[in-house]
Amino acid sequence: MNQIWQDHEKEYIRQHAATMKDREIAAKLNELGSRPITLQAVRKQRQKMGIVKAPGRGKCELQDKRNIPNRQMAKNEARQNEIGLSDIVNEIVSAVG
């Protein structure tokens, strides 16, 4: 059943997302509140609030949502860098040889 998030619950998530795991936040909110709050509920609410955690297990740091690289864009940049390096190597070899 969908529950309405209280302002103090949202504020707790906002304040502690950078230093606590979602599981720890859920446990603390369960201690403080009158209703059960699951890990999935905390994670979904944090995502709705636009708070993005850094990828990886056990990391308690945030990532700026606007600075998340697009995988395809990153692949294209890597491919361009490889092409640029090989062109430079070929120019050096032809100049020396």
Q: How do residues 58-83 score in pLDDT, each as one tens digit?
A: 667 777 655 555 555 555 565 666 65
Half-sphere exposure of 75 (CA within 13 A, CB side): 3
Environment class of residue 25 by beta-carbon count within 10 Å: exposed (0-12), middle (13-18) or buried (19+)? Answer: buried
Amino acid 80: pLDDT: 60
Environment class of residue 4 by beta-carbon count within 10 Å: exposed (0-12), middle (13-18) or buried (19+)? Answer: exposed
The percentage of the chain sitting over the pLDDT mark of 70, rounded to a whole number, equals 68
Inform me whether the pLDDT recorded for 32 exceeds 80: yes
Inform me whether the pLDDT recorded for 93 exceeds 80: no
User: pTM of the full predicted structure?
Assistant: 0.61
CA angle 76, 78, 84 (to 5 degrees): 105
State how far Cα 48 lies from the chain centre: 13
Task: Report DSSP state, residue 63.
Answer: E
